[in-house]
Amino acid sequence: MQAVNRARSALTRAAIRARQRNEGPPRTTRDSLAQWARANVPDRDLIVLSNREPYSHRRNGDGLVAVRNAGGLTVALDAVMQALGGVWVAHGSGEADRDAVDANDRVACPPGKPRYTLRRLWLDAEEQAGYYSGFANSALWPLCHVVYVRPRFELSDWEQYQAVNRRFAEAAVAEAAGRPALVFIQDYHLALAARYIKEARPDIQVALFWHIPWPNPEAFRVLPWGRDILEGMLANDVLGFHIRRHALNFLDSVSEALEARVDVERMAVDRGGRRTWVRPFAISVDAEELGALAELPETVKAAERIRRDWRLEDCKVILGVDRLDYTKGLSERFAGIERLLEKYPEWQGRLAFVQIGVPSRIELPEYRAVGESVREWTQKLNDRFPRAGGPTVVLIEGNLDFRELVPYYRLADLCTVTSLHDGMNLVAKEYVAASPDLDGALVLSPFTGAARELARAWIVSPYDREDLADSMHQALVAPVEERRERMRVLRETVLRRNIFDWTLEVLDTIVGLGLQTPEPAASPAAPAPASTPPVIEPRS
Ligand code: GDG
């Protein structure tokens, strides 16, 4: 059986490398991923850990309704779990979440169409304030994004962070119930979970995907508990980042802070007799589903309705879709739109900017300030540039249902992504995937992971207001053939490597490890492992 698995895994790796070289085989689908998992991990339970849950429950009269939560990570992994099945452990944060679970805090997901189990973990107010708002979002988030927001380091937050990471790890170990398991941990909220899992069950394979950038060592070293974070992360068998730059920054941080053998060539760290592979895996979206959704007659009708409601019939529409977060460059975007209307006055009255802003982390003052700033900008631009039919800036603050969001992608003549720093940015990929008629243009910040792959977008720095205004103008007036040609190439890229390819690449890397001889305790001449997982580069 091992030999069969070894052969299958080698085949998958060859397929991944061929896909990187752009020469087929066809992309992974939900079904082919599920098939692959049945063949390659039949003997292990898949357990996902993340802070955010994919669905939360709300009261609705006497009943309950399930809401699919926004956010790149949950949207992507929900598709994956639907394909693979397993258990997803996450913080139960919905107002009626407790009413929806069974005696073991479990609920089948997606609600009404169950394909996997959601195990909810309850956090009290103190845990939430320290672990989530405190250490994760006031220390690690600003530390990892180069946006000049100063991180706050509080001992009590750090203590809560450790305690909650331990609770997630205990839940994973309990769900594994003594069986072989593969635990796939998500993001910067859970940097220490692998360490606690391995303390209890060294045999469980553990991988962590870090969805945000990793800073260079100069920036990272200000974190008072930096060594603990690095040690916790090195308990993983595989560590994933979106792009090679972030993976290399991580290796540099380890070299600087810890006694370890860092092999930059193979992208591996040996420490205390164990090895961690560090790899770039560029996340993506369910491009096929998005394309199909965009083509549904009801989507087209909804897009027409939005145009009518806001009197956008004679307008070009620029779109922004973001969590209201200071990393997304919202002020820079509004300033760019203002400059566009000043510098190219022919657009006044003929252009509308629709910004969908999902409220996020509003318990933190920096995030409330983002909301205030976009409201002020909206008012300012609408006062300064009135439009006969309706407002020039339409600000929609709220969490739309995904099916309500796609018509906006469909109707936009231009989508703007102006992040000051972003691990990947899924909005860019979703917009491209949801433009099957090729009628659209993407203006994209070079400080996103997505810019490495989506090179045919109009790539422009959000810090350069003139260039931003000029690029938006050029993208809007470019000949239709150029717009279509660029969008065709962008769509090919997103369709060729979708969210299921991403998952397959991560899981295949972990599965490959099961076949390797464990490394002896770190020694300068330690032999290479039996097989080396492939280094997967984002394609440009
Ligand atoms: C983190 C990293 C990385 C937005 N508004 C609504 C809505 N959304 C969805 C979008 C998209 C997601 O939220 C946003 O994803 P991003 O990738 O742009 O950004 P983050 O939330 O910061 O995600 C990021 C990502 O993790 C994945 O690894 O790309 O770099 O920061 O999917 O569609 N969804 C719904 N209603 C909305 O109103 N349903």
Structure pTM?
0.91
Atom of ligand 1 nearest to the CA of 73: 27
Residue 4 has a pLDDT of 44
Task: Supply the residue whose CA is at minimum distance from atom 33 of ligand 1.
Answer: 427
- Backbone torsions φ then ψ of 288, nearest 5 degrees: -65, -45
> Which H or E run contains 322?
strand 316-323
Indicate which atom in ligand 1 lies nearest the CA of residue 72.
15
3-state secondary structure of 371: helix
Q: How far apart are CA 224 and CA 294, in angstroms?
A: 47
- For residue 393, the model assigns a pLDDT of 98
Over the stretch 397-446, which tens digit does the pLDDT of each residue have?
998 888 899 999 999 999 999 999 999 999 999 999 999 999 999 999 99
pLDDT tens column, 485-509: 999 999 999 999 998 899 899 989 9
End-to-end CA distance of the chain: 38
CATH architecture of residue range(s) 2-284+500-513? 3-Layer(aba) Sandwich (3.40)
As a whole-number percent, the residues of the chain with pLDDT over 70 amount to 89
pLDDT, one tens digit per residue, over 247-288 is 999 999 999 999 999 999 999 999 999 999 999 999 999 899
pLDDT of residue 28: 86
Q: Does the beta carbon of 75 sit less than 6 angstroms from any atom of ligand 1?
A: yes
Question: Which part of the chain is CATH 3.40.50.2000?
Answer: 2-284+500-513, 287-496
pLDDT tens digit string along 292-341?
A: 999 999 999 999 999 999 999 899 999 999 999 999 999 999 999 999 99
Which CATH number is 287-496 given?
A: 3.40.50.2000
CA of 427 to the centre of ligand 1 (A): 6
Tokens of 523: 């020694």
pLDDT band for 513, please (50, 70, 90 cuts): confident
- Whether the per-residue pLDDT at 531 is higher than 80: the answer is no
pLDDT at residue 26 in the model? 57
Q: What is the mean pLDDT of residues 525-537?
A: 38
Cα of 433 vs centre of ligand 1, distance in Å, is 14
- Distant-in-sequence, close-in-space partners of 464: CB < 8 Å, separation ≥ 6: none
For residue 417, give the ligand 1 atom closest to its CA.
Answer: 18
Would you state the structure tokens that stand for residue 519, as one six-digit string?
Answer: 């490394």
Q: Is the CB of 381 under 6 A from ligand 1?
A: no
Phi-psi region at 267: left, alpha or beta (left = phi > 0; alpha = psi -120 to 50): left
Average pLDDT, the chain: 90
| Residues 144-201: tens digit of each pLDDT | 999 999 999 999 999 999 999 999 999 999 999 999 999 999 999 999 999 999 999 9
CA of 392 to the centre of ligand 1 (A): 25
Of ligand 1's listed atoms, the one at least distance from the Cα of 211 is 28
